[in-house]
Structure 1
Amino acid sequence: MADLIIKNAYILSMDPEAGDIENGIVVVEDGKIKEVGTSTECTAEKVIDAKGSVLMPGLVNTHCHAGMTIFRGYADDMQLQDWLENHIWPAEAKLTDDDIYAGTKLACLEMIRSGTIAFADMYIHENRVAQAVDEAGIRAALSYGMIDFGDKEKADKELEVGRAFVKEWNGKAGGRISTMYGPHAPNTCSRDFLIRVKEQAVKDGVKQHIHVLETEAELNYMKENFGMCSIHFLKGIDFWGTDVLAAHCVWLSDGDIKILAEYGVNISHNPNSNMKLASGICPVAKLIDAGANVCLGTDGCASNNNLDMFEEMRSAALLQKVSTMDPTALPARKVLEMATINGAKALGINSGMLKEGYNADMIIVDMNKAHLAPVYDVASHLVYAANGKDVSTTIVDGKVLMEDGKVLSMDEQEVIDTAIKASKDLLDRIGN
Structure 2
Amino acid sequence: MYLEGTVLVGPDFEPVEGRVVVADGEIVEVEETSVGSDDVILPAFVNAHTHVGDSIAKEAGAGLALDELVAPPDGLKHRLLRAADRGELVAAMARTLRYMESTGTGTFLEFREGGADGVAALRDALAGRGVEFGERAVDAVVFGRGDPDVLSVADGYGASGARDADFDAVRAAARDAGKLFGIHAGERDADDVNAAMDLEPDFLVHMVHAERIHLERLDDRGTPVVVCPRSNLVTNVGVPPIRELAERTTVALGTDNVMTDSPSMFREMEFAAKLADLPARDVLRMATVNGAEVAGVNRGVIEPGADADLLVLDGDSDNLAGARDLVRAVVRRAGRADVSRVVIGGEAVVPRDD
Structure-1-length-normalised TM-score = 0.75
Q: Please tell me whether residue 143 in structure 1 is matched to residue 143 in structure 2.
A: yes
The offset of 1:65, in angstroms, is 0.8
What displacement does 1:50 show? 8.2
Residue 302 of structure 1: how far off its partner (Å):
0.8
**Structure 1 segments (4+ residues) deviating >6 Å:** none
Equivalent position of 1:396 in the other structure: 344
Q: Equivalent of 1:189, from 126, 142, 165?
A: 165
Which of residues 22, 26, 35 is equivalent to 1:32? 26
Q: 1:240 aligns with which of 180, 200, 207?
A: 200
Tell me, yes or no, if the aligned pair for 2:250 and 2:290 is still in contact at 8 Å: yes
Q: How far is the alpha carbon of 1:391 from its aligned partner?
A: 1.5
Q: Give the equivalent residue in structure 2 for 1:366.
A: 314
Secondary structure at 2:173 match in 1? helix
How do 1:102-117 and structure 2 match up within 5 A? 102-117=91-106
Match of 2:11 in 1: 15
Q: Is the 8 A contact 2:319 2:338 kept in 1?
A: no
Confirm or deny that 1:5 pairs with 2:31: no
Aligned counterpart, 1:295? 252
Q: Deviations over 1:183-203 (max 9, x none)?
A: 22112122xxx1111111111
Q: CA deviation at 1:83?
A: 3.0
Q: What SS does structure 1 have at the residue aligned with 2:83?
A: coil
Q: Work out which of the two has the higher radius of gyration on C-alpha atoms and give 1 or 2.
A: 1
What is the letter of the counterpart of residue 121 of structure 1?
A: E
Q: Which amino acid aligns with 1:75?
A: G
Distance 1:235 1:266 in 2: 11
Alpha-carbon distance, 1:86 to partner:
6.0
Structure 2 counterpart of 1:63, from 15, 36, 49: 49
Q: 1:181 to 1:82 in 2, by over 3 A?
A: closer
1:88, distance to aligned residue in structure 2 (A)? 2.3
Give the one of 243, 246, 253 matched to 1:285.
243
Percent identity (aligned)? 25
How far apart, CA to CA, are the structure 2 residues paired with 1:142 and 1:102? 18
Tell whether the 8 Å contact from 2:11 to 2:285 is kept in structure 1 after alignment: no
Structure 1 residue 276 corresponds to structure 2 residue 234: yes
Q: 2:211: which partner in 1? A: 253
Maintained 8 Å contact 1:113/1:389: no
Residues matched between the structures, number: 340
Tell me which residue corresponds to 1:88: 77
Alignment RMSD = 2.0
Separation in structure 2 between the aligned mates of residue 50 and residue 77 of structure 1, nearest angstrom: 51
Distance in 1 (alpha carbons) for counterparts of 2:88 and 2:213 = 42
Q: Does the CA contact (< 8 Å) of 1:266 and 1:293 recur in 2?
A: yes
In structure 1, distance between residues paired with 2:76 and 2:250: 34
Q: Quick one: which amino acid aligns to residue 353 of structure 1?
A: V
Distance 1:199 1:76, change over 3 A: same
Q: C-alpha deviations, 1:50-82, integer Å up to 9, x for none? A: 821100000110000112111112222333233
For the residue of structure 2 that corresponds to 1:359, the secondary structure is coil
- Select the residue among 172, 175, 178 that pairs with 1:202: 175
1:255-292 superposed Cα distances (whole Å, 9 cap, x missing partner): 101212322222111011011111111111111112x0
Find the aligned partners of 1:198 and 1:82 in 2 and give their Cα distance. 27
Residue 73 (structure 1) aligned with residue 59 (structure 2): yes
What CA distance in whole angstroms lies between the structure 2 residues aligned with 1:130 and 1:405? 29
- Give the whole-Å Cα distance in 2 for the aligned partners of 1:208 and 1:357: 27
Deviation of 1:254 after TM superposition, in Å, equals 1.4
Aligned AA (1:182): G
8 Å Cα contact 2:9/2:301 also seen in 1? yes
Unaligned runs of 5+ in 1: 41-48, 147-157, 167-178, 220-228, 321-328, 407-432
Give 2:250's aligned amino acid. N
Return the offset for 1:96: 3.6
Does the CA-based 8 Å contact 2:141-2:295 persist in structure 1?
yes
